[in-house]
């Protein structure tokens, strides 16, 4: 029994499995030019979280275009016409280019639906938290996008 367990252990330990985040070296994200469009707050959070650097002296580096958008929409109303549910949507488009040639492009859209609360302050605070969570989820996908070549 021990021999079978040992053989199975050796077989699975050498299968080439490698965690996706093993090479998550955020200091290697350098670009010749970084262009930001859309929601300034989202762009700043992404730039700061990923430690994206601009190096204009190295012409061999790629350019980066980051376009973001945040929307809150009313998804349902009751019979009196009052809003019952909302949906927050974060959209991030990231383009890696070299000159005029697009090397990689990805659009990430995250959304979350939630009910209205009676307290306006609590609703606004909850919407801020939802926005932060959606941005963080988008950042995880951007890390994967930039690390995978």
pLDDT in tens, 27-36: 467 888 888 9
For the chain, the domains span: 27-147
pLDDT of residue 90: 96
40 versus 99: the higher-pLDDT residue is 40
Q: Which CATH number fits the domain 27-147, given the four candidates 3.40.1160.10, 3.30.160.150, 3.40.1350.10, 3.90.950.10?
A: 3.30.160.150
Checking if the pLDDT of 131 tops 80, the result is yes
**For residues 117 and 120, what is the distance between their CA atoms, to the nearest angstrom?**
7
pLDDT in tens, 43-79: 999 988 888 887 777 777 888 899 999 999 999 999 9
**3-state DSSP call for residue 17?**
coil
pLDDT in tens, 34-53: 889 999 999 999 988 888 88
Q: Look-up: residue for tokens 């809150």?
A: 72
């Amino acid at each position: 029994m021990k021999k079978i367990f040992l053989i199975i252990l050796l077989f699975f330990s050498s299968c080439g499995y490698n965690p996706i985040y093993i090479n998550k070296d955020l200091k290697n994200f350098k670009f010749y030019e970084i262009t930001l469009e859309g929601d300034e707050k989202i762009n700043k959070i992404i730039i700061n979280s990923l430690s994206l650097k601009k190096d204009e002296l190295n012409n061999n580096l790629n350019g980066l275009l980051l376009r973001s958008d945040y929307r809150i929409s009313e998804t349902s109303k009751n019979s009196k016409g009052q809003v019952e549910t909302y949906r927050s949507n974060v959209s991030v488009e990231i383009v890696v280019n070299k000159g005029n040639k697009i090397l990689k492009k990805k659009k990430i859209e995250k959304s979350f639906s939630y009910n209205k609360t009676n307290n306006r302050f609590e609703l606004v605070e909850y919407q801020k938290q939802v926005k932060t969570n959606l941005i963080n989820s988008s950042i995880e996908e951007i890390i994967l996008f930039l690390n995978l070549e």
